[in-house]
Amino acid sequence: MAEIPAWYLLVVTLAFLLPFAVGAHVSSKSAGYAAVKWNTPVMWQTIGVFFPVFCTAVIVAFGSPPSQPFSRQLIIDVALRAAPLVAGGFALSIAAGNAQTYLHIRSATAVTPADTAAVDPGSPVHVRGRVVPIDTALSPALSRDAVCWSWRYYIRGVNGQGENPRWLSKKGDSGGVSFELCDDHGCVEIAPAGAQMELTDRAEQIVDATATQPGRVGRNIPASRAGDEYKFVESIAEPGATLTVIGKLTADGSVEAQYIISAVRRSLQSEYKNRALSYLVAGLFGSILGLWLLSIGYGTF
């Protein structure tokens, strides 16, 4: 039986173990922010990165075998050649996520708050109106009156940062409490939990770590993440704000929000369409370039 090259075993082992490492990331608490930031399910992002890595392993394993399989030069060469392919795969996943959002927005039926009773439960709807709170709530980062919000905090001055520390992004989330969306003819209840939010009422505040924190986010920062300063960035929808909500109508007549935005639907459609096309072009270019670089370096199988 022919001896199996050690470098081949290494590549296969890494390709086998990578899904388990990726699975741990998908189930982690930080995965939610990645989905919000890129408007793409984290599983899609994971596939967009893992599949190009797997393709790289296959090309290197079954192509022209390297003369020095464990050399630093080989590792650097493979990484440089594969970088456009991995970046392209990630961009394609973001393009798919934004295209999905565009299609969801486009397919939603435009109704007024008073007309939702005439729509079948489970149907996608698009409603626009002013916010009327059901319960009072304070935003978690800056304690502002709000019905829904998205936030993130940063830390600067942790141990080992040196004289010119930069802001380190630590955690973010979105949420809200049930509220009503009303016009001159009626209201409909909105459930914001889990919705993607694009809110324009944005504020940020920098606070010394030893000072009184402006919201419950700052008060709950664990000691293990302590630094010299915190920066809180938050966007909210306050009572009286005008919002567009896209979601599904439930059996009790409320709307389970999927997107809560300050813009009108048409402008949002254009935004997500342009995002999807931009990432699609970038993803295709990166993928083709990466495959070409790997093929000329290690041949084809």
H, E, C per residue of the chain = CCCCCHHHHHHHHHHHHHHHHHHHHHCCCCHHHHHHHHCCCHHHHHHHHHHHHHHHHHHHHHCCCCCCCCCHHHHHHHHHHHHHHHHHHHHHHHHHHHHHHHHHHHHCEEECHHHHHHCCCCCEEEEEEEEEECCCCECCCCCCECCEEEEEEEEECCCCCCCCCCCEEEEEEEEECCEEEECCCCEEEEECCCCEEECCEEEEEEEECCCCCCCHHHHCCCHHHCCCEEEEEEEEECCCCEEEEEEEECCCCCEEEEEEECCCHHHHHHHHHHHHHHHHHHHHHHHHHHHHHHHHHHCCC
pLDDT in tens, 47-79: 888 888 888 887 877 776 666 666 677 778 888
Per-residue pLDDT band at 111 (split at 50, 70, 90): confident
CB 170 within 8 A of CB 147: no
- pLDDT attached to residue 20: 53
Per-residue pLDDT band at 2 (split at 50, 70, 90): very low
More confident residue, 100 or 263: 100
Distance CA 189, CA 256 (A): 9
- pLDDT attached to residue 68: 62
pLDDT in tens, 198-233: 898 999 999 998 899 999 999 988 876 667 889 999
Distance CA 301, CA 238 (A): 59
CB 102 within 8 A of CB 150: no
Mean of all residue pLDDT scores within the chain: 83
pLDDT in tens, 263-273: 776 777 888 89
pLDDT in tens, 146-178: 999 999 999 988 776 667 788 888 888 889 999
Region 271-294 average pLDDT: 93
Distance CA 63, CA 298 (A): 5
CB 111 within 8 A of CB 123: no
Q: What structural domains and CATH numbers belong to the chain?
A: 6-104+274-298 (no CATH), 109-264 (2.40.50.140)
- pLDDT attached to residue 62: 74
Residue 1 pLDDT greater than 50, yes or no: no
Per-residue pLDDT band at 5 (split at 50, 70, 90): low
- pLDDT attached to residue 143: 95
- pLDDT attached to residue 60: 78
- pLDDT attached to residue 239: 94
Rg from Cα positions in the chain: 24
